[in-house]
Amino acid sequence: MKAVLDFIVNEIFGQGAIFLSLIALIGLLLQKKSASEVIRGTFMTAIGYFVLNAGVEFVSGAVSDISKAFTTMMPQAVASKSVDIGADYGTQIGIVMIIGFAINLIFARFTKWKTVFLTGHMLYWFPFVFIAAGVDAGLSGAKLIILAALFTAVYMIVAPNLMRPLVKKVTGTDSFSIAHPTTTLSLIAAGVAKVTGDPKKSTEDLKFPKGLNFLREVSITGSIVILLTYLVMSLLLKLNGYSPAEVLDYDRAFTYYFTKTIKFGMGVTVMLLGVRMLIAEIVPAFQGIATKVVPGAIPALDCPVIFNMAPNALLIGFICALATSTVTILICTALNAFPTVVIPLAFTCFFEAGCAAIVANAYGGVRGCIIASIVNGIAMVLLVGFGAYFFNNTIQGWMLVYGGQDFSLWGILEGLIAKLIA
Amino acid sequence: MGEIKIQAVCGFGCGSSLFLRIKIDNVLSAHGLKARTFCGDVGTCCSADCDVIFISAELGERIKDRAKVPIVIINNFMDDKEVSEKVLAYFDTLK
């Protein structure tokens, strides 16, 4: 009996891959899929789990040498430790995902907050971040799961309801909202643009060069930004009297920079594939349940669903935020403001700041869009920088690439509470 | 003809494409049509094995010269009517 219990607790619920496949299996059965579809989907979810974790490892690995170079030059900086949250806490993430979503459904069913959080990858990443913030503060066991689940639930309810009026302003309809970590930046954008801009002069009346479209392939743009950061770091090492080859431990400079850059793009691609496989069966089940349980639900979706409303604003927001965030990073690094390095946030500038720029355009036209994006460029650096105090023992490497918005802000909030109860 | 494979594509292949995939699945089951649907991202979708790609207008622009299978442009992923019409129109071309 004890052996059976031990098997169930440690080898079924203790294995993230198996636990998440179980969720997928139940989801597939609920959707009444054929036997072959059920088997395929269940296995793909388990494989996706490992693919995802491998991708996160590659991405963190590709940026780790940048942190190494930074801590060499700034001895007072704290080197980031890395705990593989996705691999070590897969089951906890799964449990938090289900509890958070269930609470969201209950609220949508019985209160006037009708949004249902349906952005697939964010259903994974928010529990991931909230588990990491708890682990970083020293929580474990039931306390960790309860706090992370509470934060996930509150986030899933609050953020899409805050986005709802902004989405309505952009699209003119109230049929959906957005479930995405852009919320903080989008709210800043709406406020700033309303005060500073003129909604009559829309970004979409501008003629924008088509050649800039390649910027939208973010795994490429991200890799280019990483390459430039490596080059700048190496230059800084040289200027400070270090040998980049020694600190970063390479023989051939070109090969080193080239592989680091491409491995980053590879890591991003692998990670996307993993998330996709992991959530492909879980989200349709969640959506099926939501439509049954909550009549009149407002689906809260991924931010690109409004990208076609203002493609010019998106690119203006990306470029302005990337430029100002880079300048802010340089200033903050010179002032020694943060305990660790911050690198340019290509993904956050595109998705979160880009979405915020579309919101800003609706509230304040071209001028509102530009000023809001500049403010957001500064805000995201401060969020990642101060977030380092709350993620440095766990996922700071990941945050350097994907943080600077709700992940950082809500993670900091949870970290503050977690430190009190740890 | 074997099983038809429909790929729904967005920038990352996780968010809006998954939603589009769900909508396509709904249309298929409502009309008793059979196909396997899956998601892809714009960077890798052209190398994935499929019979047709459903994609947004601005991303479709980027792959239209490279894709080896027909592309169906969906202007508004949220519009049930548009998705339904275009899925059915695609199946008409197979007859």
ipTM for the predicted complex comes to: 0.78
**Mean pLDDT over residues A110-128, rounded?**
91
Query: Do A276 and B41 lie within an 8 Å CB cutoff?
Result: yes
Is residue A293 within 8 Å of A109, Cβ to Cβ? Answer: yes
Spell out the residues 6+ positions from residue B68 whose beta carbon is closer than 8 angstroms to its own.
B46
The shortest C-alpha distance from B51 to chain A (Å) reads: 19
Render the burial of A181-190: b for 16+ CB within 10 Å, e for the rest: bbbbbbbbbb
Is residue A203 within 8 Å of A316, Cβ to Cβ? Answer: yes
List the domains of chain B with CATH numbers. 5-93 (3.40.50.2300)
pLDDT higher than 80, residue A114: yes
For chain A, what is the mean pLDDT?
A: 89
Please check whether residue A408 lies inside any domain of the structure.
yes
Q: Which residues partner with B56 through β-bridges?
A: B74
Q: Which amino acid is at A99?
A: I
Across A29-43, A186-200, A369-383, least confident range: A29-43
State how many domains chain A has. 1
Is residue A333 within 8 Å of A77, Cβ to Cβ? Answer: no
The shortest C-alpha distance from B94 to chain A (Å) reads: 24
Please check whether residue A130 lies inside any domain of the structure.
yes
pLDDT digits (tens, 9 = 90+) for A27-72: 888 888 889 889 988 999 999 989 988 988 888 888 888 878 887 8
Is residue A284 classed exposed, middle or buried when 0-12, 13-18 and 19+ CB atoms within 10 A define those classes?
buried
Contacts of A301 in chain B (CB under 8 A): 15-16, 19, 78
Please check whether residue A73 lies inside any domain of the structure.
no
Which pLDDT does position A216 carry in this prediction? Answer: 67
Please check whether residue A220 lies inside any domain of the structure.
yes
**Calpha distance A54→A59 (Å, rounded):** 9
Strands B5-10 and B36-41: parallel
Query: Which of A392, A272, B49, A158 lies closest to A150 in space, CA to CA?
Result: A158
Contacts of B44 in chain A (CB under 8 A): 269, 273
DSSP string, A218-243: HHHHHHHHHHHHHHHHHHHHHHTT--
Highest-confidence segment of A239-243, A362-366, B13-17: A362-366
Comparing CB atoms, the residue among A275, A276, A304 nearest residue B16 is A304
pLDDT higher than 80, residue A210: no
User: A-B interface: how many C-beta pairs under 8 angstroms?
Assistant: 82
Which pLDDT does position B1 carry in this prediction? Answer: 58
Which pLDDT does position A277 carry in this prediction? Answer: 87
Pick A344 or B1 by higher pLDDT.
A344
Task: Please count the helices (runs of H) and the strands (runs of E) in chain A.
Answer: 17, 3
Spell out the residues 6+ positions from residue A331 whose beta carbon is closer than 8 angstroms to its own.
none
Query: Which of A103, A92, A180, A169 lies closest to A133 in space, CA to CA?
Result: A92
**Calpha distance A377→A393 (Å, rounded):** 25
Which pLDDT does position A127 carry in this prediction? Answer: 96
Closest residue in A to B38 (Cα) is A280
**Calpha distance B8→B15 (Å, rounded):** 11
Render the burial of A372-398: b for 16+ CB within 10 Å, e for the rest: bbbbbbbbbbbbbbebbbbbbbbbbbb
Query: What Rg, from alpha-carbon coordinates, does chain B have?
Result: 12
Q: Where are the alpha helices (DSSP H) in A76-180?
A: 85-88, 90-110, 120-136, 141-171
pLDDT digits (tens, 9 = 90+) for A171-185: 888 888 999 999 999
Closest residue in A to B61 (Cα) is A213
Comparing CB atoms, the residue among A121, A176, A213 nearest residue B14 is A121
The pTM of the full predicted model, rounded to 2 decimals, is 0.83
Spell out the residues 6+ positions from residue B63 whose beta carbon is closer than 8 angstroms to its own.
B9, B42, B45, B46, B53, B55, B71
Query: Which of A180, A79, A186, A89 lies closest to A133 in space, CA to CA?
Result: A89
**Calpha distance A293→A103 (Å, rounded):** 12
Q: Which amino acid is at A45?
A: T
Contacts of A303 in chain B (CB under 8 A): 15
Query: Which of A367, A355, A16, A15 lies closest to A187 in space, CA to CA?
Result: A355
Which pLDDT does position A144 carry in this prediction? Answer: 96
Strands A298-301 and A115-117: parallel
Our CA angle for A281, A286, A292, nearest 5°, is: 130
**Calpha distance A94→A167 (Å, rounded):** 29
The shortest C-alpha distance from A31 to chain B (Å) reads: 11
Please check whether residue A68 lies inside any domain of the structure.
no
pLDDT higher than 90, residue A187: yes
Please check whether residue A72 lies inside any domain of the structure.
no
**Calpha distance A123→A42 (Å, rounded):** 18
Query: Do B15 and A303 lie within an 8 Å CB cutoff?
Result: yes
Spell out the residues 6+ positions from residue A255 whose beta carbon is closer than 8 angstroms to its own.
none
The answer to whether the Cα torsion of A22, A28, A31, A36 is positive or negative is negative
Pick A164 or A290 by higher pLDDT.
A164
Residue with token string 């008409």: B92
Task: Give the sheet arrangement for strand B71-74, strand by strand.
Answer: B36-41, B5-10, B52-56, B71-74
Which pLDDT does position A76 carry in this prediction? Answer: 66
Is residue A340 within 8 Å of A388, Cβ to Cβ? Answer: yes
Domain span at A124: 2-63+78-421
Query: Do A280 and B43 lie within an 8 Å CB cutoff?
Result: no
Q: Hey, is A116 helix, strand or coil?
A: strand
Furthest C-alpha separation in chain A: 72
